[in-house]
Amino acid sequence: MTPPLPSLTTFELLGWVLVGLLVAVVAVGYVAVGLSVRGKREDRRIEAVEDSIRTELLDRLGRDEPAWGTWLDGLSRRERDVLETQTDQYLRLLTGSDRDRLHDLATRLDAGQRIEQPLATGDRIDRLGALSWLALLDHEVDVDRLVEHCSDDPAERAAVGRVLYEHREAIDGAASIGTRLLTSAGTTLPMYGTDTLFRLNQTDPTPLLTTCASQRGDWTVDLLAQALETLTYCDPAGGDAPIEWVLDCLDCESPAVREAALGVVGTYGWRAELREGVDVERAVNDPVPSVRRAAYREFSAWNDETVQVLVGAAATETDDRARLLLARELSGRLREVTERLPPGIAACLDWAEAEEAAKAR
């Protein structure tokens, strides 16, 4: 028969529990210290590898013949990973012959083929990383594959657009494909997406003009304003590009859209069908000051009849910034009718003329 276990008092039991906790804390402390020491050693090893690879990479970039193949054959897996990361970094910084040599190195690292794999199997972070690499590499791009796997997220669409921009010389219709993809959701673009939209259309905004003409009805007013503002910074498109739709935007309930549309009107004022369809008086009497300022800015270089409308509007303008803009743009014409202008405009004229005199010194 097994003898009964001796009973423990409450204080004895609590003592054993405290001893157990103390042992556990000490053990955890030793493990944490060990991991910390191991981590620091690993960090030092990685830093040494990074420094070594960076030194060799920059040295070979300075040679007439980098001899990438010979160097790569002697690298470990870790060293190749570090080299790939540094190649990515320097591709974003360097230009000219150095960048061309880095493209050759990236090809030898098989970066393009390996980077495409996450497009179909990776998560969002993996796909964005892959797209970032593809924008840098001279690697053949499968447009259909990009659109299939990377069109559901705004950041991914912007990244695909940048890939299309960087490979525009090798891809037929890259600007049109990228423009449609960026605006396909009909919602506001992130900053990177807006920049990419501009780059795709900078020298010929026909793709953006065409997309706006056919798709703007499905967009939010914020996206429409972004598209219109982008058009004001692009070079003018040829005479065949659709432009009449901008007139509808001048009647939009959104002041941001009306203001941006006036910027496009200023850029394409040489197109008769646009110029003749603009209601100048309505624009300069808009209830929103920023829209009136845009109208004054864009119409001040038009014909005498239009300028006369602006001179008439000056008599009732209440916004100080708009008055100063009028004074700067139309000082000569406004001086002719000073007696009919409110004191605020006269003060702005004095300021504008003094400003011009200071510049002329």
CA 128 remoteness from chain centre: 14
Termini Cα distance of the chain: 116
pLDDT bucket at 295, cuts 50 / 70 / 90: very high
Inform me whether the pLDDT recorded for 188 exceeds 70.
yes
Write the DSSP symbol of residue 11: H
Q: Most confidently modeled of 100-104, 169-173, 356-360? A: 169-173
Every domain of the chain and the residues it spans = 213-278, 283-361
Q: Which two tokens stand for residue 4?
A: 């009964």
Mind listing the pLDDT tens digit for each residue in 211-253? Answer: 999 999 999 999 999 999 999 999 999 889 999 999 999 999 9
Mind listing the pLDDT tens digit for each residue in 98-157? Answer: 888 888 887 777 765 667 777 877 788 888 888 888 888 777 888 998 888 888 899 999
Distances (CA, A) of 126 to 83, 90, 130, 174: 19, 20, 6, 23
Mind listing the pLDDT tens digit for each residue in 62-96? Answer: 888 888 888 888 888 888 888 888 888 888 788 88
pLDDT bucket at 24, cuts 50 / 70 / 90: low
Cβ(132)–Cβ(160) below 8 Å: no
- Write the DSSP assignment of 301-328 as a string of letters: TS-HHHHHHHHHHHTT---HHHHHHHHH
What's the rounded Cα separation, in Å, for the pair 58 and 56?
A: 6
Burial environment of residue 248 by CB neighbours within 10 A (0 to 12, 13 to 18, 19 or more): middle
Percentage of the chain exceeding pLDDT 70: 84
Write the DSSP symbol of residue 6: P
What is the pLDDT averaged over residues 168-195? 95
More confident residue, 287 or 29: 287
pLDDT bucket at 1, cuts 50 / 70 / 90: low
What's the rounded Cα separation, in Å, for the pair 328 and 121?
A: 59
Which residue has tokens 């405290």?
Answer: 18
Q: From 358, 333, 294, 307, select the one nearest 349 (Cα to Cα).
A: 333
Inform me whether the pLDDT recorded for 39 exceeds 80.
no
pLDDT for 252 equals: 96
pTM attached to this predicted model? 0.76
Distances (CA, A) of 140 to 88, 137, 157: 17, 9, 19
More confident residue, 122 or 162: 162
Q: From 87, 93, 96, 88, select the one nearest 68 (Cα to Cα).
A: 87
Task: Please provide the average confidence, as pLDDT, over all residues in the chain.
Answer: 84
Which of 121-135, 154-168, 285-299 has the weakest average pLDDT?
A: 121-135
